[in-house]
Every structure is written in C-alpha cells, then in structure tokens.
Amino acid sequence: MRPCLLCLPVLVHLTSACSSTPTQHGPGHSFDAPEPPDGTPGCDASRTPIEDACVLDEALGVFVSSRVIQAGGGTRARPYASLAEGLERARADKKRVYVCEGTYDDPLTFADGVSIFGGLSCDGGEWRGGGKRARITTRDGSPVNAKDITRPTRIDAIEIVARDATLPSTSSIGLVVANVPGLAFSHVLVRAGAGADGSDGAIPVQLVNGPSAEGVAGEPSARCVAGCSANPFQGYPDPRASRGGVNACQGVPGYAGQAGSAGGWSGGFRVDAGGGILGAPYVYALGVDATAAEPPPFLFVLWGAPGHHGGPATKGLMRHDGFFPGAGHDGTDGVAGGGGTGGRGIGLLDHVVPSSQQVVGARVWGWSGGGGGAGGCPGLAGHGGKGGGASLGVISAWAPPSFAESEILSGSGGRGGKGSFGGKPTAGGAGGAASGPAGTQGAPGGWGGRGGYGSHGDGGPSAALVVDGPRPRLSSTTLAAGKGGDGQPETKDGDQIIPASATGASQRMWEL
C-alpha cells in the first residue's frame, strides 16, 4: 500500500500534483450527455438545471422528492418519493433524475447513462435551482455503488453520507466505484462515518476441580478376617488401597488433572504360635521407593506448564471491495497439573502389633500410605481481540471517475478489540492423610499451568480515497482523512502482560 507522497497536508485542494489533467464539469463547462429524447422543448440537454432552468421538464427527466406524502409517477406535480425508484424509471425511459433537496435513505447503485441532479428546491410544486444538495444516507455504513459505467453519466450537487458502522469490526464506506470511466461527479460531498470498534476476545471459562480431586486417607493396621485363608491379600477391597485423587475438571468438558497415585500398603502377615510375626514386610507406593528412608512426597509433584501467548495481531487487508480487519491471535491452554505420589506404607514389626491381633494364625494388614492428590486443572486460552473497522470515503477501482469542485471525507477508524488474559489454573487436590504414626501422607497434586493470553486487535484505518489502478481525475477537490482507530494499551494481570496494539493508519489517498 503506497500513500500519496506528494499530497502531505491534511486538507488541500488537489491540483496537478496529485491528479492528471482534470476534465472540467462545473458550471460553464461542457459535459458529454445523451441526446435529448424526442419531444423535448428544445433545451440543450448538456446543460444543468443551474445553467438553464428549461431542462427541468418531464420530457428530459424524472422527478423525485422525499417531501411527498403520496408518491406519484415522477412528474413535477407528483414526484417519486424514492430515489431508487426514480433511478430505475429514468433508466428505463433513458432520462435524467432531478432530486429535490432533502434526505433519501435508499440503498443505491448508479446506472450507466443516467445522470442525477440535486441542488433543487421544489416548494409548492415549483422546481428551480438554488436549493440545497440532496443527501443520500446509507444504512450501517454500507456504500453507494457504481460499476461498469462507460456512457457519459453525471452526478451533480449530491451528498453521499454513510452512517457509522454498527456491527463489530465493520467499516463505514461512502462510495465504491469500479470501471466507471464515463462517471463524473461535480459539486458533491462524500463523507464516510466512523468504523466500528473491534470485538473483544472472549474471556475463557474458569475451570474448577471436581469433587474427587483429593487423595483418600491411609488405612491403619487391621486384622483380615474374611477371605484371608489362601492369600493374605485376597478379598481386600479397593477403597482400602487408599486410591489417589481423580480430577475431572468442571466448567468445560474434556479437561482433567492427572490422577494421583495410590498410597503404599504393606504385605500381609501371620502371627505364629509363639506370637511372632511371619511374612515379608514388603512395602510399595507408586513412584516412591518405600524401602529407603522416607522421601518428602512433594519432590514427586509436577506442575503443569503454562500455555503459549498469542502473537501480534494480523494486519487488516485493504482491497477494491472494502477493508477486511485483522485480529489478535489466541493463546493456548495451559497443561494440567501432575498427580501427587501416594504416601508410604509401613511394614509390620512385632512391637506395633496390637495385643488384640496377636492370635495364632491371624492375618494382619500393615499401615497404608495416603493416596496422592490429583493434578490441578489448567487455565484455558485467552482469545484475541478483533481489529477495528475502517472509515473510507471513496474506493475507486480500475477505470476511474472524475471529481470536480467536490469534497471526499472519511471519519475515524474503529478501536481495536481487547485480547483476553489466559484463564487461571487450580491447585492440585490434597494428598490423603496418613493412617497413623506409621504410614505417611500422600503428596498433593501439582498446580495446572495458566492459559496463554490472546493479543489485542489493531485500530482500523481512515482514508478519504482508496485507489486500485489509475487515480481518479480530480479538479478543485478536497480530500481529508479522519483519525485512525486507537489500538489497545498495554494491559497487565498478575504475571501476564499483553502488549499494546497498533493505531490505525490515516491517509488522504491510499493506493493499492
């Protein structure tokens, strides 16, 4: 995109420095027009109503006024109320359109060979020059259009005013023309409204731990009564294994912390005839060497890694058919926390066997460790903000029109949307309590990682004239651009800092 380097002042009357030799279309200058239809009163059809009032005749034109209560057939006495309807009739009858001063809220496309003249008053049914320019307003920032106009077509004393864009990230554009070498504008005002602000990135859902994230407490030493004759472990129910925590995160389906490890438990033992203990005091706890000195359980806890942050916003794309905003990038989810290791189970020694259990042939369980807590939930990704919409006065593509004694103005670009911070993680579940003086407590689960932030969107641009191809022919025509849309400032939340985003460009002439 190349700005017009020769046109640096914000508001100027363009001359040959920024235009080719202009074709004059103002009062006192000739204008190529269709031949008058048969039956005209002998008026020169190339003249404007300001130059010669005799052209204000039904033989030459269709009349339109927004003041009428009941629309008629396009005559001075009974004009059409709709400019679009009058334009369609004039195209069919190969006539001009005469528009009384007032406001016309019509989606409009100019027609090949159909000239439109404003600057007329029609008080009391008397049509004459010297009135105000007729104003065409467009809805929601959508433009007036013209395409493939090759026959001489004049638009005179008209205002085209685009309303502010309302939908997030959309643009307000006054006029879009493409391949219109026969189209000439004179004494017109084209003004775009403000581009709409970009939408903010969605705030991620905050996950919370499920109800079973904590490890189960260790079991104390106990005598095995039922189902123990063949194997001291036979019939031992799962809950006595001091299971680790299980964390199915709540808020969004599909997220879970890593499960905690089960607590360690010792082997079964049998009391012999002399009251001694027979059997191997083998002990195991998942992830822990239970035969060594008792390790601190927290050494075996892993915290989830944080998510990646969204990169700088993509730049918007200016084209012959409008502006397409970029957007901030989304972050990524954090990683769930690791599960805590189970506490250590302890083998039986005869001095810890309660006297009530010292029965010949008794099967006895040792002390079990508490289950490890489940890992915490991750923080979910933040989302990027959308870029602001543009304010564009005129977009001209390919064979251009001409402008004489006119103004082309753009408003402010839309503000860039805010990116959202990454969601915050949760702590892991607590480890199961120790079973007494012998077994040890399970380790808590690790914290999840925080989600990465989404970046801010950039501000939208403002350009009076966007050109794809040859420049329009400009004579005594003013171009003035509004302010580019603001970007978002740097924002902080704890350990996260979202960088500021860019302000939209402001250019009188934007060449593609």
88-105 mean pLDDT: 96
Q: Tell whether the model's pLDDT for residue 239 goes beyond 60.
A: no
DSSP three-state, residue 140? helix
137-156 mean pLDDT: 92
Beta pairing, strands 222-224 & 363-365: antiparallel
**Nearest partner of 460 among 173, 189, 191, 144, judged by Cα:** 173
Q: Tell whether the model's pLDDT for residue 229 goes beyond 80.
A: no
* pLDDT the model gives residue 169: 97
Q: Tell whether the model's pLDDT for residue 205 goes beyond 60.
A: yes
What digits encode the pLDDT tens for the residues 39-49? Answer: 455 678 788 89
Q: pLDDT confidence of 407, banded at 50, 70, 90?
A: very high
411-421 mean pLDDT: 98
Average pLDDT, the chain: 83
Q: pLDDT confidence of 289, banded at 50, 70, 90?
A: very low
Burial class (CB in 10 A: 0-12, 13-18, 19+), 295: middle
Return the H-helix or E-strand segment holding 148.
Answer: none
Q: How far apart are CA 262 and CA 452, in angstroms?
A: 32
Q: Tell whether the model's pLDDT for residue 286 goes beyond 60.
A: no
DSSP 168-227: TT--EEEEEEES-TTEEEES-EEE--PPPPPPPPPPPP--B--TT-SPPPPPPPEEE-SS
**Nearest partner of 394 among 411, 410, 405, 406, judged by Cα:** 410
Phi-psi map region of 45: left, alpha, beta (phi>0 left; psi -120 to 50 alpha): alpha
Bigger pLDDT: 336 vs 368: 336
* pLDDT the model gives residue 284: 30
Q: pLDDT confidence of 50, banded at 50, 70, 90?
A: confident
Q: pLDDT confidence of 276, banded at 50, 70, 90?
A: very low
Q: pLDDT confidence of 273, banded at 50, 70, 90?
A: low
Output the six-digit token pair for 92: 């069919």
Q: How far apart are CA 129 and CA 290, in angstroms?
A: 103
Q: How far apart are CA 159 and CA 174, in angstroms?
A: 10
Q: How many CB atoms lie within 10 A of CB 407?
A: 19
* pLDDT the model gives residue 217: 87
Output the six-digit token pair for 116: 């439109």
Q: How far apart are CA 125 and CA 136, in angstroms?
A: 21
Bigger pLDDT: 351 vs 75: 75
Bigger pLDDT: 218 vs 486: 486
* pLDDT the model gives residue 43: 76
Q: How far apart are CA 487 and CA 386, in angstroms?
A: 11
**Nearest partner of 316 among 186, 441, 462, 159, judged by Cα:** 462
* pLDDT the model gives residue 137: 94
Q: Using the structure block, give the residue that is written with the tokens 């008397």.
A: 126
Domain ranges of the chain: 2-191+385-418+461-483+499-511, 203-384+419-459
- Nearest-10 Cα torsion for 137, 138, 140, 143: -130
Q: How far apart are CA 308 and CA 140, in angstroms?
A: 37
What digits encode the pLDDT tens for the residues 344-403? Answer: 776 554 334 555 655 666 666 667 778 889 999 999 999 999 999 999 999 999 999 999
136-149 mean pLDDT: 90
Q: What is the pTM of this model?
A: 0.81
Amino acid at 420: S
Q: pLDDT confidence of 29, banded at 50, 70, 90?
A: very low
Q: How many CB atoms lie within 10 A of CB 279?
A: 18
Q: Which residues share a beta bridge with 96? A: 61
* pLDDT the model gives residue 160: 97
